[in-house]
């Protein structure tokens, strides 16, 4: 669906020879001489002193009539292409300089052509340089238009690519509609270097311009997921330095978000393996008798995975595909308890707040240019999430109320702590036991050398994700084992099959139709949450990175959609990365999981001849 079709369209018309011809008036003045950009004597100082990095927001930047006609021109005469990677999801035009290179296109796009001519003129570049102390700026034109429809987003990054020195964004919302609201999403979030929570947010109102300095590891920003019906329309571009050495922070270029994504070894929090994991005995399938295996697993695992015939089928599938998914893995009662705890925890939180769920032992993990999700820790307390300041052009910053929900009181443990504790019990009581590892070894026909990571994670709606980074690479193969908990297609048994009465919870996923709809939403992958495995491109360089690894020809090796009570087992080769796609606010629930990573004894791998 064409993103521009979501935008209201108004045309200037005149009558000619008995018919109506659509024609916009010729472009007039581009910039508004009365705007804050020209009138404010202290604009340069505001830019230099702004936090969390150098920036300035200018209202009424363009002449109002010019801005309105520019908006109409973009809607009517530019095509956008849908793009999605681990980092973003939006609609974007081709590079504007390439579009305007043809004389015919310049005639079709007079307002856009005049804007480019004005902004990249020597006079305006000199003015920018003087106001913001930028030094010399090159005459390179680097600009594109973007349309964010519902569900579109751009995750945290710093824009450091090539010789970029100054980013500008021109917002072009409908001038005849009310101002943009926070609850519609689409705001530009700004991050400090130390926190996965944004410190401020700029709303995309009509004729507002944003300028910010591009600096490695400093100019961290994101576009929050659009959750309303309006399309967020903008022009975004960059002013470049003449040489790479003249960019801001050139000596610290290794700190850039893209360089950290591409780095094979960087300092980020590593997944912790609890003491129980380290102490788990090294038993294998051969060392546990069948009756011992059944006795250890039967209090947790569905009976079908303790029988020889189903296990042989799973082993055959894994041998052919290097992955397998065990649906309805836990006993119905255990799976249902986890789902109901998740429902209560989700219902107790404000999903518009970055502090949602940061209580009851859940800790927010970053850094945001690599990942953001909650992990459950055994100790009391959690990392406090400060409120986000939201700002409109020309207005002061005000603290926005941030409610994490689920505060613990005299009534007992919070929903968040109850959920985390049950998932921790699942990890400690089942997944880190020798019998569980023996089961995985039987399905994979591999000898596992030990558990390298064992995390209880929660990916909240509208907030959380992980990025595919080279830091996840290993020199040897690994086996990923992940048990998911989410609102989806769980089959709720009756009293005869479980010996328990049906649940009293009547949430959206209880009915057969509701469960099917939830699972269809997850399976569509439109709402994210799936874990994706992709192959590393060893030839990736700065030019490819300039489009953020966007590639139409190469898809993922494997996508695993969210499915409640499903255990996924994936053999990951040395050249394979994984990430969890940003979970949309419209998703049926948060995604909870227990994720384990096992090493593999190389002697148990099949030889090339066997393959």
Among 129-133, 261-265, 432-436, 582-586, which stretch is predicted with the lowest mean pLDDT? 261-265
Give residue-wise pLDDT tens across range 67-114: 999 999 999 999 999 999 999 999 999 999 999 998 888 899 999 999
How much is the pLDDT for 519? 86
| 7 or 503: which leads in pLDDT | 7
| 294 or 475: which leads in pLDDT | 294
Q: Are 356 and 460 in contact (CB under 8 A)?
A: yes
Give residue-wise pLDDT tens across range 546-598: 333 444 556 789 999 999 999 999 999 888 999 999 999 999 999 999 999 99
pLDDT of 268 higher than 50: no
Q: Are 163 and 240 in contact (CB under 8 A)?
A: yes
Q: How many other C-beta atoms can be found within 10 angstroms of the C-beta atom of residue 497?
A: 10
List, in sequence order, every residue forming a beta bridge with 83; answer none if it has no partner: 90
The stretch 115-134 carries a mean pLDDT of: 95
How much is the pLDDT for 503? 34
Report helix, strand or coil for 84: strand
| 46 or 383: which leads in pLDDT | 46
pTM of structure: 0.85
The stretch 331-340 carries a mean pLDDT of: 96
> What are the angstrom distances between the C-alpha of 73 and each of 12, 41, 97?
11, 33, 16
Give residue-wise pLDDT tens across range 484-523: 999 975 433 333 333 333 333 334 445 566 667 888 899 9
With residue 387 as reference, give the H or E element that holds it: none
- Taking the C-alpha atoms of 163, 166, 167 and 172 in order, what is their torsion angle to the nearest 10 degrees? -140
pLDDT of 231 higher than 90: yes
| 575 or 346: which leads in pLDDT | 346
pLDDT of 12 higher than 70: no
How much is the pLDDT for 260? 84
The stretch 236-263 carries a mean pLDDT of: 92
Q: Are 212 and 219 in contact (CB under 8 A)?
A: yes
Tokens standing for residue 300: 């947790």
How much is the pLDDT for 376? 97
pLDDT of 143 higher than 80: yes
Split at pLDDT 50, 70, 90, the class of 286 is low
Distance CA 484, CA 482 (A): 6
Tell me what percent of the residues of the chain surpass a pLDDT of 70: 77
pLDDT of 298 higher than 90: yes
pLDDT of 357 higher than 50: yes
The stretch 124-137 carries a mean pLDDT of: 95
Give residue-wise pLDDT tens across range 164-200: 999 999 999 999 999 999 999 999 999 998 789 999 9
pLDDT of 128 higher than 50: yes
pLDDT of 126 higher than 70: yes
> What are the angstrom distances between the C-alpha of 387 and each of 172, 190, 403, 524?
27, 13, 9, 33
How much is the pLDDT for 188? 98
Distance CA 433, CA 301 (A): 13
Torsions phi, psi of 497, nearest 5?
-90, -25
| 24 or 110: which leads in pLDDT | 110
How much is the pLDDT for 214? 98
How much is the pLDDT for 11? 43
How much is the pLDDT for 513? 65
Q: Where in the chain are all domains bearing CATH 2.60.120.620?
A: 36-262
The stretch 283-296 carries a mean pLDDT of: 74
Average pLDDT in the chain: 83
Residues whose CB falls within 8 Å of the CB of residue 506, separated by 6 or more in sequence, listed in order: none
> What are the angstrom distances between the C-alpha of 380 and each of 227, 298, 413, 507?
34, 31, 11, 30
Distance CA 563, CA 519 (A): 7
Q: Where in the chain are all domains bearing CATH 3.60.130.20?
A: 290-380+415-490+521-604
How much is the pLDDT for 555? 76
How much is the pLDDT for 16? 39
Hunting for tokens 């300028």 — which residue is that? 211
pLDDT of 422 higher than 80: yes
Helix spans in 30-88 (H): 36-39, 43-49, 64-77
Q: Are 329 and 311 in contact (CB under 8 A)?
A: no
The stretch 44-57 carries a mean pLDDT of: 95
Report helix, strand or coil for 52: coil
pLDDT of 380 higher than 50: no
Among 221-230, 319-328, 429-438, 601-610, which stretch is predicted with the lowest mean pLDDT? 601-610
How much is the pLDDT for 288? 73
Q: Are 332 and 162 in contact (CB under 8 A)?
A: no
List, in sequence order, every residue forming a beta bridge with 239; answer none if it has no partner: 166
Q: Is 547 left (phi over 0), alpha (psi -120 to 50) or beta?
A: alpha
How much is the pLDDT for 539? 55
Name which of 385, 382, 384, 380 is nearest 413 in CA terms. 380
Distance CA 316, CA 602 (A): 20
Residues whose CB falls within 8 Å of the CB of residue 254, separated by 6 or more in sequence, listed in order: 216, 263
Distance CA 343, CA 118 (A): 54
Distance CA 297, CA 437 (A): 11
* CATH 2.60.120.620, applies to 36-262: yes
* CATH class of residue range 290-380+415-490+521-604: alpha beta
pLDDT of 37 higher than 70: yes
Tell me what percent of the residues of the chain surpass a pLDDT of 90: 64
Count of alpha carbons within 13 angstroms of residue 206, beta-carbon side: 18
How much is the pLDDT for 40? 66
């Amino acid at each position: 669906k064409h993103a521009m079709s979501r935008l209201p369209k108004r045309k200037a018309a005149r009558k000619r020879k008995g018919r109506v011809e659509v024609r916009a008036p010729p472009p007039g003045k581009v910039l508004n001489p009365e705007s804050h950009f020209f009138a404010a004597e202290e604009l340069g100082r505001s830019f230099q002193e702004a936090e969390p990095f150098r920036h300035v927001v200018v209202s009424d930047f363009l002449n109002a009539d010019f801005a309105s006609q520019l908006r109409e021109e973009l809607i009517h005469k530019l095509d956008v292409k849908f793009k999605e990677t681990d980092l973003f999801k939006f609609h974007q035009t081709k590079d504007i300089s390439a579009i305007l290179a043809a004389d015919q296109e310049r005639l079709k796009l007079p307002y856009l052509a005049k804007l480019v001519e004005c902004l990249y003129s020597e006079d305006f570049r000199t003015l920018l340089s003087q106001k913001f102390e930028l030094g010399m700026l090159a005459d390179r034109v680097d600009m594109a238009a973007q349309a964010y429809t519902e569900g579109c987003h751009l995750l945290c990054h710093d824009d450091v690519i090539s010789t970029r020195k100054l980013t500008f964004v021109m917002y072009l919302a409908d001038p005849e509609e009310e101002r943009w609201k926070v609850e519609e999403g689409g705001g530009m979030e700004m991050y400090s270097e130390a926190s996965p929570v944004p410190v401020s947010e700029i709303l995309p109102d009509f004729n507002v311009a944003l300028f910010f300095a591009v600096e490695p590891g400093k100019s961290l920003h994101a576009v929050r997921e659009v959750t309303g019906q309006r399309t967020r329309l903008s022009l975004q571009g960059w002013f470049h330095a003449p040489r790479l050495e003249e960019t801001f922070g050139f000596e610290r270029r290794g700190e850039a978000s893209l360089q950290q994504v591409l780095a094979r070894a960087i300092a980020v929090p590593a997944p912790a393996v609890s003491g129980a994991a380290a102490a788990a005995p090294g038993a294998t399938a051969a060392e546990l008798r069948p009756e011992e295996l059944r006795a250890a697993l039967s209090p947790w695992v569905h009976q079908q995975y303790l029988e020889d015939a189903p296990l042989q089928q799973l082993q055959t599938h894994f041998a052919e595909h290097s992955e397998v998914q065990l649906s309805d893995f836990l006993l119905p009662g255990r799976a249902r308890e986890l789902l109901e705890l998740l429902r209560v925890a989700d219902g107790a939180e404000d999903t518009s707040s970055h502090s949602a769920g940061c209580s009851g032992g859940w800790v927010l993990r970053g850094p945001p240019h690599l990942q953001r999700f909650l992990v459950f820790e055994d100790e009391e307390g959690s990392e406090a999430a400060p409120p986000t300041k939201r700002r409109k052009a020309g207005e002061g910053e005000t603290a926005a109320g941030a409610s994490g929900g689920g505060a613990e009181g005299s009534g007992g443990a919070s929903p968040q702590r109850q959920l985390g504790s049950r998932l921790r019990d699942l990890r400690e009581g089942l997944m880190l036991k020798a019998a569980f590892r023996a089961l995985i070894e039987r399905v994979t026909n591999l000898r596992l050398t030990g558990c390298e990571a064992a995390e209880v994670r929660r990916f909240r709606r509208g907030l959380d994700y992980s990025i595919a980074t080279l830091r996840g690479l290993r020199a040897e193969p690994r086996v990923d084992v992940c048990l998911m908990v989410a609102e989806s297609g769980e089959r709720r048994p009756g009293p005869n099959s479980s010996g328990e009465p049906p649940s009293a919870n009547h949430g959206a996923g209880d009915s057969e139709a509701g469960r099917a709809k939830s699972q269809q939403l997850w399976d569509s992958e439109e709402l994210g949450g799936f874990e994706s495995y992709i192959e590393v491109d060893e030839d990736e360089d700065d030019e490819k990175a300039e489009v953020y690894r966007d590639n139409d020809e190469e898809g993922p090796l494997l996508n695993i959609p969210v499915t409640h009570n499903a255990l996924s087992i994936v053999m990951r080769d040395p050249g394979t990365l994984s990430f969890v796609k940003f979970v949309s606010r419209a998703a049926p629930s948060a995604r909870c999981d227990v994720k384990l990573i096992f090493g593999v004894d190389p002697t148990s791998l099949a030889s090339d001849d066997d393959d």
